[in-house]
């Protein structure tokens, strides 16, 4: 096929030089492992983990109606919690439930990365996305070009803060990314292998229905139907559409039919599917955070849309646009601003960004290089300075900040984390030397720089800063103290105004026998209450008082405890 004048790609063999896959695999392994090691359960993941643990230790109803130790959770579907609960049951004999769920997160991250690589590679080999033919030859072969794009896509995923921040904890982020990558890879594969890839597309579509808020899934239903019947896929729609639509719609429908049998859960679920215009406050939230959340893939994705605007009907553009329009419509119509909303923009940008990178000239690509050099070098230096300050007290201001936020923190030196931190820092210096000495022309050089920098910072946080971070964020100490304070004969504890995160953490660490938050249990006479200090609305703090007056009654204070970062709002166990 002769090249079209509107083709924005003009590349040669040097631009698609092979990225050593040993380097790519090493970076991926460090990226996945760094966020899942040497730490306990943290607040932002405690509620999700509590649901998984409740399923693994509960009955069939816990699997159908996700709950945190008896408190219904209706924001998202059950699939992320099913996966976590399955890993807990599979590895219960050899590791703790929390470590088992972390293993599940690592597996989901690895599978998402592979599916992204495969989807971009297959798209990059298609004839309508090939670079221009050069007058004297030398343009890259389709396989070489597709491999360069796929490698760049993986590096871009690793370099994106929003992906790193929300796919390394035991929450729903890793599953959200996985089902989107399954949907994308299945859709791309169905262009050439419709009979095989339609199953992956169908499973990814069903996974969306069992993971995303239903109000968001509606827009992905429309996006899937548009792709099947109005674009390149309509040529095989008789073979592909029935499987994708049937499996993708029936699996969520079965779960919805089951939850409809529980009026209390179903009412709460309907209430979470609200529709409201996007408020100015939420719009400002997105404006402040979306660029940071999606850097550097958002600028590259938008650049791709501009550069390929005259060829918008190719499969890459169609899938990228559909993956962006669905969460955008959901944001405007529902007015919600939770993290999953911004995370849903990641798959579309991840697909478009490698093709946008391929059209960048050297000057624009160098902007990414310099930004990565300055940003990640400064962050690594700051982490090392804080670590030195914690041990030596110098610089004094940094040392004061370290112990101001964690007064009881005692640094512990461990050789393995220290050696790993030194190794990745030296590796970053070698990457800088390689970039300055060889001046590579390959298009992946800029994103290799960004991904290496983010992995280095990620590993430094997981080694040097992790003891301090874990001390300030972990629920383990408070949970173990509560476990020692609960009388052995206690059969029930009622939670009042207790966040789902604290409920999940205390259920795991203290094995608190919470009273289920159901209408049928409202009249249960339970003498113990676990609540927060703010709930009591006292004029002064407890400060070791044996009793408190609350709701016209006198309560004995059995235990008070707190996370370091929540010193002003302690958890309290009271007995009537």
Would you state the pLDDT for residue 522?
87
pLDDT digits (tens, 9 = 90+) for 331-352: 888 876 566 678 899 999 999 9
Would you state the pLDDT for residue 535?
82
Would you state the pLDDT for residue 288?
82
Percent of the chain having pLDDT more than 70? 95
Query: ∠ CA 324-329-330 to the nearest 5 degrees?
Result: 105
pLDDT digits (tens, 9 = 90+) for 389-420: 988 888 888 888 888 878 788 888 889 999 99
d(CA 574, CA 571) in angstroms, rounded, equals 10
Question: With 0-12 CB in 10 A as exposed, 13-18 as middle and 19+ as buried, what is 200?
Answer: buried
User: pLDDT confidence of 272, banded at 50, 70, 90?
Assistant: confident
Task: Measure CA of the first residue to CA of the last residue in the chain; give whole Å.
Answer: 82
Query: ∠ CA 41-45-50 to the nearest 5 degrees?
Result: 80
Q: Which of 97, 113, 109 is nearest to 35 (CA)?
A: 109
351-372 average pLDDT score = 84
- Dihedral in degrees, nearest 10, Cα atoms 238, 244, 246, 251: 180
Beta-carbon contacts of 117 under 8 Å, excluding residues fewer than 6 positions away, are 150, 151, 153, 154
140-156 average pLDDT score = 93
The SS3 of residue 474 is: strand
CB 170 within 8 A of CB 105: yes
pTM given for the model = 0.94
2: left (phi over 0), alpha (psi -120 to 50) or beta: beta
With both helix axes pointing from N to C terminus, report the angle between 97-124 and 173-189 in degrees, rounded to the nearest 10: 30
Beta bridge partners of 304: none
Q: Which of 365, 363, 401, 369 is nearest to 385 (CA)?
A: 401
Strand bridging mode 494-495 / 528-532: parallel
Range scoring the smallest mean pLDDT among 151-165, 219-233, 434-448, 493-507: 434-448
CB 150 within 8 A of CB 120: yes
CB 126 within 8 A of CB 315: yes
Task: Read off the DSSP letter of residue 68.
Answer: E
Would you state the pLDDT for residue 567?
64
* Residue 175 pLDDT > 90: yes
Beta-carbon contacts of 255 under 8 Å, excluding residues fewer than 6 positions away, are 64, 77, 78, 210
* Residue 2 pLDDT > 60: no
Helix or strand holding residue 559 (H, E): strand 553-561
Would you state the pLDDT for residue 320?
96
Residue 64 CA to its chain's centroid (Å): 23
Token digits of residue 358: 């391929």
pLDDT digits (tens, 9 = 90+) for 101-116: 999 999 999 999 999 9
* Residue 253 pLDDT > 90: yes
CB 131 within 8 A of CB 10: yes
Residue with more model confidence, 338 or 46: 46
Would you state the pLDDT for residue 87?
98
- Which residue is it, tokens 């249990």? 521
Residue with more model confidence, 127 or 538: 127
Q: Which of 532, 531, 527, 535 is nearest to 554 (CA)?
A: 527
Question: With 0-12 CB in 10 A as exposed, 13-18 as middle and 19+ as buried, what is 474?
Answer: buried
Measured in degrees and rounded to the nearest 5, phi and psi for residue 65 equal -115, 95
Token digits of residue 94: 């050899």
Residue with more model confidence, 76 or 369: 76
CB 423 within 8 A of CB 380: no
User: pLDDT confidence of 152, banded at 50, 70, 90?
Assistant: very high
d(CA 263, CA 251) in angstroms, rounded, equals 20
d(CA 360, CA 370) in angstroms, rounded, equals 15
User: pLDDT confidence of 226, banded at 50, 70, 90?
Assistant: very high
Helix and strand totals (H; E) in the chain: 25, 7
d(CA 45, CA 102) in angstroms, rounded, equals 11
Read out DSSP for 389-450? HHHH--SHHHHHHHHHH-TT------HHHHHHHHHHHHHHHHHHHHHHHH----TTHHHHHH
Residue 550 CA to its chain's centroid (Å): 40
| Mean per-residue pLDDT of the chain | 89
528: left (phi over 0), alpha (psi -120 to 50) or beta: beta
378-382 average pLDDT score = 94
Q: Which of 16, 288, 263 is nearest to 140 (CA)?
A: 16
CB 513 within 8 A of CB 493: yes
Beta-carbon contacts of 469 under 8 Å, excluding residues fewer than 6 positions away, are 39, 461
pLDDT digits (tens, 9 = 90+) for 280-329: 887 888 888 888 889 889 999 999 999 998 888 899 999 999 999 999 99
d(CA 65, CA 71) in angstroms, rounded, equals 10
CB 502 within 8 A of CB 571: yes
Read out DSSP for 4-47? PTT------GGGGPPPPHHHHHHHHHHHHHHTTSS---BHHHHH
Token digits of residue 337: 């601003």
CB 496 within 8 A of CB 572: no
d(CA 108, CA 92) in angstroms, rounded, equals 19
d(CA 40, CA 38) in angstroms, rounded, equals 7
Would you state the pLDDT for residue 18?
87
């Amino acid at each position: 096929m002769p090249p079209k004048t509107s083709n924005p790609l003009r590349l040669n063999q040097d631009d698609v030089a092979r990225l050593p896959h040993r380097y790519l695999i090493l970076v991926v392994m460090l990226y996945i492992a760094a966020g899942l090691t040497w730490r306990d359960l943290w607040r932002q993941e405690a509620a999700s983990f509590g649901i998984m643990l409740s399923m693994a230790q509960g009955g069939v109803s816990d699997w159908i109606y996700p709950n945190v130790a008896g408190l219904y959770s209706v924001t998202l579907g059950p699939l992320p919690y099913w996966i976590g609960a399955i890993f807990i049951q599979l590895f219960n004999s050899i590791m703790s439930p929390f470590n088992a769920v972390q293993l599940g997160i690592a597996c989901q991250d690895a599978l998402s990365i592979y599916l992204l690589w495969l989807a971009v590679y297959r798209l990059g080999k298609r004839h309508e996305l090939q670079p221009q033919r050069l007058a004297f030859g030398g343009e890259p072969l389709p396989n070489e070009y597709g491999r360069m794009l796929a490698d760049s896509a993986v590096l871009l995923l690793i370099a994106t803060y929003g992906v790193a921040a929300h796919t390394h904890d035991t929450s729903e982020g890793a599953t959200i990314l996985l089902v989107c990558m399954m949907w994308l890879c299945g859709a791309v594969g169905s262009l050439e292998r419709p009979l095989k890839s339609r199953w992956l597309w169908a499973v990814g579509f069903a996974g969306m229905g069992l993971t995303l808020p239903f109000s968001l899934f509606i827009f992905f239903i429309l996006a899937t139907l548009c792709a099947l019947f109005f674009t390149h896929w309509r040529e095989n729609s008789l073979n592909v559409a029935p499987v994708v639509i049937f499996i993708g719609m029936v699996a969520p429908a079965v779960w919805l039919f089951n939850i409809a049998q529980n009026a209390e859960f179903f009412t709460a679920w309907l209430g979470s599917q609200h529709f409201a215009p996007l408020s100015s406050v939420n719009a400002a939230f997105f404006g402040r955070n979306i660029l940071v959340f999606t850097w550097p893939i958002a600028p590259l994705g938008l650049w791709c849309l501009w550069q390929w605007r005259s060829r918008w009907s190719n499969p890459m553009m169609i899938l990228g646009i559909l993956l962006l329009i669905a969460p955008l419509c959901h944001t405007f119509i529902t007015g919600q601003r939770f993290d999953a909303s911004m995370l849903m923009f990641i798959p579309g940008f991840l697909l478009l960004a490698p093709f946008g990178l391929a059209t960048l000239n050297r000057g624009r690509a160098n902007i990414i290089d310099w930004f990565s050099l300055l940003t990640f070098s400064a962050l690594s230096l700051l982490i090392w300075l804080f670590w030195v300050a914690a041990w030596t007290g110098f610089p004094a201001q940094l040392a004061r900040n370290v112990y101001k936020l964690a007064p009881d923190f005692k640094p512990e030196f461990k050789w393995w984390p220290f050696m790993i931190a030194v190794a990745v820092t030296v590796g970053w210096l070698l990457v800088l030397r390689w970039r300055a000495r060889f001046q590579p022309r390959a298009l992946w050089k800029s994103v290799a720089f960004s991904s290496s920098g983010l992995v280095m910072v990620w590993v430094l946080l997981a080694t040097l800063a992790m003891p301090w971070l874990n001390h300030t964020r972990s629920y383990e100490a408070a949970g173990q103290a509560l476990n020692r304070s609960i009388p052995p004969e206690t059969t029930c504890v009622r939670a009042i105004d207790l966040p789902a995160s604290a409920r999940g953490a205390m259920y795991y660490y203290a094995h608190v026998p919470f009273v289920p938050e159901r209408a049928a249990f409202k009249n249960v006479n339970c003498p113990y209450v676990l609540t927060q200090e703010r709930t009591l609305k006292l004029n002064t703090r407890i400060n070791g008082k044996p009793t408190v007056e609350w709701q016209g009654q006198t309560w004995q204070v059995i235990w008070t405890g707190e996370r370091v970062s929540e010193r002003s709002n302690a958890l309290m166990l009271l007995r009537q």
